[in-house]
Structure 1
Amino acid sequence: MNTVSSVAPVISADRDALRRDFPHQPFAIRHKLAGHPLLMLPRIAQLAAELPRDLIEYNSGKVAISQDPDSIPSVDLDPVEIVRRIETAGAWMVLKRVETSPQYRALLEDTLLSVARARGFNSMADAGFEQLEGFLFVSSPNSTTPFHLDSEDNFFVHVHGEKFFTIFDNTDRSIVSNDEIERSMTKHRNLTYDESFASKGKEFHLFAGDGCYVPYQWPHWVRTADSFSISMAITWKTREVRRLNDLHFFNSMLRGIGLPQQPPGLQPVRDALKLAFYRAVTAAIRPLRASMAMRRVLRRIALGKRANYYLKET
């Protein structure tokens, strides 16, 4: 590890937590992004108008923690109106892959670079922060994000309002089984939640300037309080995370044609063969993903008929 000069961090955390818990345990962070022009409603509305439609997902915020994916209530507004009317829209929205906008990419890179330097690295690559992506969340008052898990590591920064973010141990298979992990990553992210899980969760009570680190595949659910909310997930994928994700997706595809699969890690030789084949195929079709229409077709082929569930015209 290299020693670098001290730089005022965008994201900061207790040094012991950063050294002891990262990247395997959640912990609280602070940040300097509250009030940033790119994270205010007028600019977010502009971003909603610029992004491809398949990078925007929204629905009613009045959902259960254990929400059935097939019965999520919708909101009959377009994405820009959702942002403009977020205080009264009763909605939850995520703008995905915001790093496709150069301004947002610069913001994400500066923020994550400050963490890399705080850990003693000269660059994000040295710190293992690869495949940087950003997800911007806008939620109406008293909205719920159902119980789910994500396929990347995440510094979650809260910018406006009050939010409760509850995280659960991803090694506890009494909470989420291996089959549910695969399904959540490849079909629909929502997981089944039982009230008996409540005592096992770690809750972060967030205001503007607060946040938390969410490790790879740690299940969580979120709710807002009595004001609208703006938050951003600053995510990355290490080489190992990309390997695990590719195996989960290929296992899901094989399972879909009637071939049961073991979770990643139980059969290393087979994992290596599957990974090589899957990556060769995905590399061949990658140029097709430039078209939104083809992205929809490919998602449907790989993930099933409901892969484009968040597009109203589906």
Structure 2
Amino acid sequence: MKSLKCFEGDFENFKLDRGPFEFRHTMADHPALTIESISKILQELPKDRVMFSKGLNDLGVNFDDALDNDTKKLDLNEIIETIRTSNCYIAARNLELHPSFKELYGDLLADISELLKLNKTGNKVLEPMIWLFIASPNAITPFHFDRSSNFIFQIRGSKELAVFPPRVEEIISAKDIETYLERASALPPWREELDRFAHKFNFKAGEAVHIPFVSGHYVKNGPEDISITMSIFFHSNETMKWTSAMKLNNRLRRFGLKPKAVGNSPLVDRLKAGLLPAVDGMFIVAKKILVLFF
């Protein structure tokens, strides 16, 4: 494997999007990732790219809703000055568009592309996006899952990250995943008994974890310092195919069918992904007919 710039250590690359794994990274001392630099960068981002929440201490809270609802109360200067004691949480997206991240972003894409090639799941990173998360000591990120793959890098502070195996019906049903991929706001509820499935990583600055596509996870920050975390969300050719196949399953469920979950048969998944545009076309035609005649 080619030498990587941001990733280091031993990689369990065969687990990519099959299970979580831990490794080390080289970005803990990057100048764009100090709290002073981040404070300046956040002020320069468009307001719709910065989200905020306060008092998150329940794993069962809907994380999407909490961020959206509290963004209206955002006062960045006050939050950053008091973040050690205010039990608050800042999330910022699309950092790859800021000049301070240009070189780092290029290095990350090169590293991940190399891992995808090695894993035979693509030649380049698709739909990449960098997020930053700055949180008070002991802050909690509630149980949720994302619509893409994720590498999460701890820059400052420490945390316990619990990651659940992907596509396990008992944890998050295939139906819930398929609905959420279509931008439904409802996430499946957290249940304490699910914790027995979790892979728990206690990690600190310089350490990182891979969170597979649609894997449930939650975070509990350590008590000793604020936490600064950077994530890069992305797709591979494989996860793009899975996304399309899951969206087709969601269409089929609307007709009362019970399609098989994605991930069991690569051939069936490819067929489903290929059929999605045609099925969407049929939906559009059906809507037009209904409008004309009813």
Whether the aligned pair in 2 keeps the contact of 1:61 and 1:90 (CA below 8 Å) is yes
Q: Distance in 2 between matches of 1:92 and 1:267?
A: 38
2:212 maps to 1:215:
yes
Where does residue 311 of structure 1 map in the other structure?
none
Where does residue 235 of structure 1 map in the other structure?
233
Distance 1:71 1:270, change over 3 A: closer
Whether the aligned pair in 1 keeps the contact of 2:152 and 2:231 (CA below 8 Å) is yes
Distance 1:277 1:114, change over 3 A: same
2:108 maps to 1:128:
no
The one-letter amino acid paired with 1:14 is: D
Q: Measure how far apart 1:86 and its partner are.
A: 1.9
Where does residue 40 of structure 1 map in the other structure?
34
Name which of 17, 20, 27 aligns with 2:21. Answer: 27
Distance 1:216 1:120, change over 3 A: closer
2:153 maps to 1:157:
yes
TM-score, scaled relative to structure 2: 0.77
The one-letter amino acid paired with 2:184 is: K
2:140 maps to 1:139:
no
Where does residue 58 of structure 1 map in the other structure?
52
Where does residue 308 of structure 1 map in the other structure?
none
Q: Measure how far apart 1:140 and its partner are.
A: 0.9
Cα RMSD for the two superposed structures: 3.3
2:197 maps to 1:191:
no
Where does residue 300 of structure 1 map in the other structure?
none
Whether the aligned pair in 2 keeps the contact of 1:150 and 1:189 (CA below 8 Å) is no
Q: Secondary structure at the match of 1:83?
A: helix
The count of residues paired between Structure 1 and Structure 2 equals 269
Whether the aligned pair in 1 keeps the contact of 2:242 and 2:269 (CA below 8 Å) is no
Deviations 1:36-57 (A, max 9, x none): 1111122222222222222222
Q: Distance in 1 between matches of 2:99 and 2:273?
A: 36
Q: Distance in 2 between matches of 1:113 and 1:64?
A: 37
Distance 1:254 1:172, change over 3 A: closer
Q: Distance in 2 between matches of 1:205 and 1:174?
A: 25
Q: Measure how far apart 1:246 and its partner are.
A: 4.7
Where does residue 285 of structure 1 map in the other structure?
none
Q: Measure how far apart 1:157 and its partner are.
A: 0.3
Q: Measure how far apart 1:249 and its partner are.
A: 5.7
Whether the aligned pair in 1 keeps the contact of 2:96 and 2:105 (CA below 8 Å) is yes
TM-score, scaled relative to structure 1: 0.73
Whether the aligned pair in 2 keeps the contact of 1:63 and 1:143 (CA below 8 Å) is yes
2:51 maps to 1:49:
no
Q: Distance in 2 between matches of 1:48 and 1:239?
A: 32
Q: Distance in 2 between matches of 1:13 and 1:277?
A: 45
Whether the aligned pair in 1 keeps the contact of 2:96 and 2:129 (CA below 8 Å) is yes
Q: Distance in 1 between matches of 2:149 and 2:158?
A: 23
Distance 1:129 1:59, change over 3 A: same
Name which of 255, 277, 281 aligns with 1:275. Answer: 277
2:173 maps to 1:173:
no
128-137 or 165-174: which moved more?
Answer: 128-137
Which segments of 5 or more consecutive residues in structure 1 lack a partner in the other structure?
282-314
Q: Secondary structure at the match of 1:106?
A: helix
Deviations 1:277-310 (A, max 9, x none): 759x9xxxxxxxxxxxxxxxxxxxxxxxxxxxxx
Runs of 4+ in 1 over 6 A off after TM superposition: 118-121, 250-255
74-83 or 191-200: which moved more?
Answer: 74-83
Q: Secondary structure at the match of 1:205?
A: strand
Q: Measure how far apart 1:8 and its partner are.
A: 5.5
Q: Secondary structure at the match of 1:131?
A: strand
Q: Measure how far apart 1:35 and its partner are.
A: 2.4
